[in-house]
Amino acid sequence: MSQHTPASPSEETADVIVVGAGPGGSATAAYLAMSGLDVLLLEKTAFPREKVCGDGLTPRAVRELITLGIPTPESEGWIRNKGLRIVGGGMRLQLDWPDLSTFPPYGLVRTRQDFDDILAQHAVKHGARLRERTNVTGAIRDDATGRITGVTAKEMDERGRATGRVLRYDAPLVIAADGNSSRLSLAMGREKREDRPMGVAVRTYYTSPRHDDDYLESWLELWSKDAQGKDVLLPGYGWIFGVGDGTSNVGLGILNTSSAFGKTDYKDVMRRWVATMPQEWTYSDETMVGDIRGAALPMGFNRQPHYADGLLLVGDAGGMVNPFNGEGIAYAMESGRLAAEVVAQAFARADDAGRERVLQGYPAVMKNALGGYYTLGRHFAKVIGYPEVMRLAVKYGLPRETMMKYVLKVMANLSEPHGGSAGDRLLNALSRIAPAA
């Protein structure tokens, strides 16, 4: 909730408050600190902490890590992969990541428990002030203008319970990087758009010899057996990513364009699908590490505007998950980088009016970067919601390796921005032509 007259005195002030120390928030904070701004990074939990995710990073995400200056040596637990293995229609097709001048030719796997901590500490190293166990509860707004001027928060203890201490932080700009639910956005009246795709994903870890895999694995069909032993096609799409630590990250997702969305026990689907896998993979309740946990995937800019009244959105808070493949980390970090560029330019202005004019350009920056591509992705998400369409795509598409290599580039958003192949030029042209709504 937002409020105008908080009772508590200000704990700290800053140029910018970033709420949420996930990949988007930590990347934003790091870039802002590098530009010389005073940044407060508020995180409701304490590191290291778990997050529901596939843990797989495409070359687009790896590019953001390189740009941010995060070392990723294999000796420190960064597991490299060569590409994507696609399973469907009775086939297993192995596709290498494209070798492009603008993206590295490899992906990575790193658990979110480690990954988020590394990024947050990187922001701290560059000067951001990280405040853990600080659960932001609302926006402080100026009575005259309605602008956000700070946030209120609850202090949390080691067990995740409120201590009773109410905190207040003040800044002329607040950045919401607080994920899909984004209570801060809601406090400022920014609801989700219902005309955008939404996904749900569940995942768990299994002890398995498949933990060491050079390829990410995507399952386009999830099959099970009924009581009579007959094959049954389950809703959704699955993945298996080797984590390199003795476990595999196994999960599945489903889009709200599917008729099964919201009517399915996803944990049951997971267990039924895993039960059909070869015994030597050792995916079973006995080898499961942790519970099956779920998370929402907000896609295609499902919360807008991305800037207004002193509040700027990055990552999942702004619905920046790719509708083609459910990838969120790359776009959270990318939006953080682009946001930091805008904010640094804004704070270089000598007056409030000039600063505000620059900040108001951020929504256009994001639409120019991703809007057209996300529009294409929204149409794709709608089409694959029809099982018959997906069945035909698997049947006739998978046997054509050249076509599938191009599909991989489209779905992972990996193309040369200038020149490149005819396929690259086509994707770039379509992304430019598509309206960035």
Residue spans of the domains in the chain: they are 12-79+106-195+299-376
The pLDDT of 135-147, averaged and rounded, is 95
More confident residue, 390 or 98: 98
pLDDT tops 70 at residue 234: yes
Task: Output the average pLDDT for the chain.
Answer: 92
pLDDT digits (tens, 9 = 90+) for 173-191: 999 999 999 999 999 999 9
Confidence of residue 11 (pLDDT cuts 50, 70, 90): confident
Q: pLDDT of 66-117, one tens digit each? A: 999 999 999 999 999 999 999 998 899 999 999 999 999 999 999 988 999 9
What per-residue confidence (pLDDT) applies to 398? 85
Is the model's pLDDT at 386 over the cut of 80? no
pLDDT of 120 above 60: yes
pLDDT for res 4: 47
What is the model's pLDDT at position 8? 64
Q: Percent of the chain beyond pLDDT 90?
A: 77
pLDDT at 5 over 70: no
For residue range 158-174, what is the model confidence (pLDDT) as tens digits?
Answer: 988 999 999 999 999 99
CATH class of segment(s) 12-79+106-195+299-376: alpha beta
What's the pLDDT score for residue 302? Answer: 95
Question: Is 375's pLDDT higher than 50?
Answer: yes
What does the H/E/C string look like for the chain? CCECCCCCCCCEECCEEEECCCHHHHHHHHHHHHCCCCEEEECCCCCCCCCCCCCEECHHHHHHHHHHCCCCCHHHCCEEECEEEEEECCEEEEEECCCCCCCCCCEEECCHHHHHHHHHHHHHHCCCEEECCEEEEEEEECCCCCCEEEEEEEEECCCCCEEEEEEEEECCEEEECCCCCCHHHHHCCCCECCCCCEEEEEEEEEECHHHCCCEEEEECCEEEECCCCCEEEECCEEEEEECCCCEEEEEEEEECCCCCCCCCCHHHHHHHHHCCCCHHHCCCCCCEEEEEEEEEEEECCCECCCEECCEEECHHHHCCECCCCCCCHHHHHHHHHHHHHHHHHHHCCCCHHHHHHHHCCHHHHHHHHHHHHHHHHHHHHHHCCCHHHHHHHHHHHCCCHHHHHHHHHHHCCCCCCCCCCHHHHHHHHHHHHCCCC
Average pLDDT over every residue of 120-141 = 97
What does the pLDDT read at residue 395?
86
